[in-house]
A and B are shown apart, each in its own frame.
Chain A
Amino acid sequence: MSSLLPRIILCLDVKDGRVVKGTNFVNLRDMGDPVELAIEYEKQGADELVFLDISASNEKRPTALKLVTDIASHLSIPFTVGGGLKKLDDVKAFLDAGADKVALNTTAVLDPDIIDQTAKAYGSQCVVVAIDVNQEDEGLNYYINGGRKRVEGDFFNWTQQVAQRGAGEILLTAMHRDGTGLGFDTELTRKVSESVPVQVIASGGAKTEQHFLTAFEGGADACLAAGMFHSGDYQVDQVKQFLQDQGLKVRL
């Protein structure tokens, strides 16, 4: 028995100190100040936030670290940073700056020891391994470099390996659902969630409140979304109220 409640996690893409929105990294649109948006989403009832690409380039590292400390000082919910963390030193710098967790994707694939090292130095709760997986004709394949490079290897083996190495959570993005508005890949989330000894965050495809209900009922421990909230189509508390009305207990 677990009394953990389903979590709704908001994802914010950060570029040059601003939150941006765009489709496949083109037509980036300025959404506003990360700290202000973070506070707004906490108010709306987001359970956690993820800031992506906040650290993408090395030369802007000091500014990015300052931003992370700024977020930590204004937010009273947990937040994760990810994107561009290449070495253990990067990971340490961002955790020391105030991030609760780091999300590792490409780096984890290229140098899996970084999962073990981060877990050992800071604890598994600080390590989220993000996996971008795509449903293709020949089966499930996973990708690095922002979905551009396919990894030679078995997807389910990789999910097992990251858990064994000490990841505290897996952020599972279904690339074949991303941006489609068709909802989370619930079947895939369930399969992974049932087979690994860590929590699984479903990501990719959310457009309506029903998608969250389906994913949570299907075994997701948490759901991550961006567009439907950034667009203003939904407020987080609206989705949570819907879940509550459907009999799912959430933090309201």
Chain B
Amino acid sequence: MTKKLLIIDTLAGNLFSLQAAAQRLGFEVDICQSPNDIIYDALVIPGQGRFASVVNQLKKQGWDSYLKNAHEHGLPMLGICVGMQIFFEASDEDPEVTGFAWFKGKAKALDFPKKPMVGWAELDSRDSIFAGKIVYFVNSFAVDQADESVATTEYGQNFCAAVKRGAFYGVQFHPEKSSQAGLQMMANILLPENQGELKSEENNHV
């Protein structure tokens, strides 16, 4: 059976790379602005847009309760970049807006002379999904400390590069822009029962 993936459209940018990456993993992809009744095998919150606009758009469309419910049912979920930060309490990017607060902590402006952080960095992690992997970052804000952090990297300071609770993963980097390493991570997170085995025929050109 083809697995179905839901990508939430937060109206903050194109989703071609993400969609293509998911299709390469063998997923049938639905891109939706509001929740529906279809049963999905996994879900992605994309990494584009500002903190406030993404939080507000998700709340407006009723995604907050949907996501909570999906998580309680153990749906594999991946939040990317700002799509990870919104699950924390707040962000310096838009201090007046409250995040979903699944995790304690907040996104703060990176303390480094050159901003945004743009480029590839190695992850420091003990989780086999992330350990030693080199992935692509594009961000000016990051969560400096999180209890459930499973990977970190450094840019002026150490920050949380990945967070995990149950089947939910949030990552500060962009796996869909991180070549083979990123695709493998997406497979591990979104297809846990396959143990992240990539479909070879879809993937043979990367």
The 22 sampled A-B contact pairs (Cβ below 8 Å) are: A2-B121, A3-B121, A4-B155, A5-B121, A7-B119, A42-B179, A47-B120, A73-B17, A75-B17, A76-B176, A76-B177, A76-B178, A77-B179, A96-B13, A97-B14, A122-B13, A125-B116, A125-B118, A168-B116, A169-B118, A199-B114, A221-B114
Chain B, residues 14-44, CB within 8 Å of chain A (1/0): the string is 1011011100100000000000000000000
What class of interface size applies to chain B in its complex with A? 35 or more
Chain A residues with CB under 8 Å of B20's CB are 72-74, 76
A39 at interface, CB cutoff 8 A: yes
Please name all residues of chain B whose beta carbon is closer than 8 Å to the beta carbon of A72 when the two chains form the complex: 14, 16-17, 20
Q: How far is the CA of A47 from the CA of B134 in the complex (A)?
A: 11
Q: Point out the residues of chain B lying under 8 angstroms from A77, CB to CB.
A: 136, 177-179
1/0 per residue, CB under 8 A from A, across B32-65: the answer is: 0000000000000000001000000000000000
A residues with a Cβ closer than 8 A to B are 1-5, 7, 39, 42-43, 47, 69, 72-78, 95-98, 100, 122-125, 168-169, 197-199, 221-222, 249, 251
How many Cβ-Cβ contacts under 8 Å join chain A to chain B?
A: 107
Please provide the 7 A-B residue pairs with the shortest distance between their CB atoms, ordered closest to farther: A72-B16, A98-B16, A73-B20, A3-B121, A4-B119, A3-B154, A125-B138
Decide yes or no: A42 and B115 within 8 Å by CB, A7-B120, A76-B183 being known contacts: no
Q: Contact flags (1/0) for B101-138 with A, using CB distance below 8 Å?
A: 00000000000111111111110000000000010111
Q: Give the chain B neighbours of A221 by CB distance below 8 A.
A: 114, 119
Q: How far is the CB of A13 from chain B (nearest CB, A)?
A: 23
Query: A186 vs B104: C-alpha distance in the bound complex, in angstroms?
Result: 44
Tell me, yes or no, whether B1 is within 8 Å of chain A by CB: no
A249: chain B residues at CB < 8 Å are: 122
User: B180 on the interface (CB 8 Å rule)?
Assistant: yes
* Complex Cα spacing A76 to B16, Å: 10
- Which B residues are in CB contact (< 8 Å) with A95? 13-14
Chain B neighbourhood of A222, CB < 8 A: 119
| Nearest CB on A from B196, distance (A) | 16
Question: Are A76 and B140 interface neighbours, CB within 8 A?
Answer: no
Instruction: Write the chain B residue with the least CB distance to A124.
Output: B116
Partner of A69, one of B16, B50, B182: B16
- Complex: chain A residue closest to B82, CB-CB: A123
Are B116 and A76 touching (Cβ within 8 A)?
A: no
Q: Name the distance in Å between A175's Cβ and chain B's nearest Cβ.
A: 24
Q: Which residues of A sit under 8 angstroms from B156, Cβ to Cβ?
A: 1-2
Chain A residues near B16: list those with CB within 8 A: 69, 72-73, 97-98
Give the distance in Å from the alpha carbon of A77 to the alpha carbon of B17 in the complex: 9
Q: Which of B139, B140, B155 contacts A2 (CB 8 A)?
A: B155
Tell whether, in the assembled complex, residue A2 and residue B17 are in contact, meaning their CB atoms are under 8 Å apart: no
